[in-house]
Amino acid sequence: MQSTDMRLGLVPLARNMFDIALATKVTAQVRSRLESVGFSLAGPSALVTSLDEAKKVAQQLADNPPDLLLVLQATFADSTMVMSLAEMVDAPLLLWAVPEAGAGGRLRLNSFCGINLAAHALRRGGHHYDYVYAAPDDPVVVEKVRALALAGCARRLLCQARVGRVGENPAGMNSCQFNKEALIRQFGLEVVQISLEQVFQAARAADPQEVEAVLKSLSTKLDGLHELDQTALRRTLSSYVALRQLVERQQLDGLAVRCWPEYFTELGCAACGAMSMLSDELTPCSCEADVNGTITQLILQWISGEPAFGADIVSMNVEQDAIVLWHCGLAPLSMADPSVRPRGTIHSNRNLPLLMEFPLKPGRVTIARLSEATGEYRMVIGSGEMQRTPMNFSGTSGVLRFDRSASDVLDTIITEGLEHHLSLTYGDHVPVVLALCSMLELPVLHL
């Protein structure tokens, strides 16, 4: 996600007994710096110097809350203005104070004391906040603002999200269970239940010309399609068409699909290829109706701006610190190692298409999982380097070296009883995920 996709509320607070000319100059520097790196700014252009002004600004921002509310302590001010903003605007809050060099004269801004007073009032009032103490041109500040705004954007999208659950998790897949009421209560997220038969009927009724167009496009990206059972292949593509139309019609952000056994026994194909294509189009899909897995993929996708993928850990070499992530064949094609041409293939157990087969590309990855292993929500977070290796197993797989030792990761997964699905996206996004967890007051477990 780019800075231009994120909206900042910038509110500069001041009191008239301090150096207003200097405070105005500092505010202009802050505004210029944020705009120069692409942030869209909302809020007043002038200093806010009274409680009445602060309330008017708060009401304006409350009507269209920003991804991050940045309160610049342009000079010292008591806590009444910042408290009115915190109470009225539903957005993560960042306090910014600027250093002031002592030269033997008057205290011109007293900015730090202002955020100290604000932090005390906010903490006593139960409001979450973060802070920076830096000059307007400090590059570290821009990165922190970017991380917090990204997390705030993910927070906003999460409370508006709708995830479609197609069917139910298979018996014995307890790690794919979910709590609909708790998701609404804690995150504001809605789960829409959809029957498998509804999807199957739509797939059977899919426009053949539309299916052929999908096949033609996919043939430019995948080898081996002509070798597959053509009837079963088109059933997978028909399912893709049906699921894509369902997403558009019901305004869904992601899907959690019961992919077996009915996809094989009743529709006569694999769901994997359809879910891979949807995930590549930024409608993340998880198999086995894993709602929490899809939510995790959404979070990673919003933060990274790239597709996310839900996988199993299937092998671990403690001596080599290597862990194999795998799934049948639903990883997005954009994650394929560019040195290997992806192939269309069949499910290894059910012998039906369509699955995507390729090794995952090398690079930095962020791993996460919204977990309910304890009965309460927490976020599992890890990171590491995906290695360039030959295929370990059929389907989609990759060899990952976590930043922690493989033995530590193994011990954490088993002793904590974590879910068997982990989600990943490319890039180092751990600081943003941690910022989001802080905003959501979500406990964290590190892998």
Burial status of residue 291 (CB atoms within 10 A of its CB: 0-12, 13-18, 19 or more): buried
**Rounded distance between C-alpha atoms, residue 228 and residue 231, angstroms:** 9
Question: To 10 degrees, the CA torsion angle through 215, 217, 222, 227?
Answer: 30
For residue 344, give the nearest of 335, 333, 334 by alpha carbon: 333
Task: Output the pLDDT for position 179.
Answer: 94
Tell me the mean pLDDT in the region 360-376.
97
Pairing of strands 309-317, 421-426: antiparallel
Mean pLDDT for the chain overall: 95
Q: How confident is the model over 325-349, as pLDDT tens digits?
A: 999 889 999 999 999 999 999 998 8
Residue 3 has pLDDT above 70, yes or no: no
Task: Output the pLDDT for position 284.
Answer: 98
Residue 281 has pLDDT above 90, yes or no: yes
Q: How many residues does the chain have?
A: 447
**Rounded distance between C-alpha atoms, residue 389 and residue 445, angstroms:** 29
Tell me the mean pLDDT in the region 294-315.
96
Task: Output the pLDDT for position 230.
Answer: 97
Interacting residues of 430 by C-beta distance below 8 A, sequence separation 6+: 366, 381, 383
**Rounded distance between C-alpha atoms, residue 148 and residue 30, angstroms:** 16
**Rounded distance between C-alpha atoms, residue 328 and residue 419, angstroms:** 17
pLDDT band at residue 318, thresholds of 50, 70 and 90? confident
Tell me the mean pLDDT in the region 413-440.
97
- Output the pTM of the full model: 0.94
Token readout for 158 is: 């999460």
Residue 209 has pLDDT above 60, yes or no: yes
Query: Which domains are seen in the chain, by residue range?
Result: 3-159 (3.40.50.10940), 161-446 (3.40.275.10)
Task: Output the pLDDT for position 118.
Answer: 97
Q: How confident is the model over 99-137, as pLDDT tens digits?
A: 988 776 788 999 999 999 999 999 999 999 999 999 999
Percent of the chain with pLDDT over 70: 99
Q: How confident is the model over 210-261, as pLDDT tens digits?
A: 999 999 999 999 999 999 999 999 999 999 999 999 999 999 999 999 998 9
Is 300 strand, coil or helix?
helix
Q: How confident is the model over 25-84, as pLDDT tens digits?
A: 999 999 999 999 999 999 998 999 999 999 999 999 999 999 999 999 999 999 999 999
- Residue whose token pair is 């009421």: 181
Residue 11 has pLDDT above 70, yes or no: yes
Task: Output the pLDDT for position 235.
Answer: 98
Amino acid at 269: C
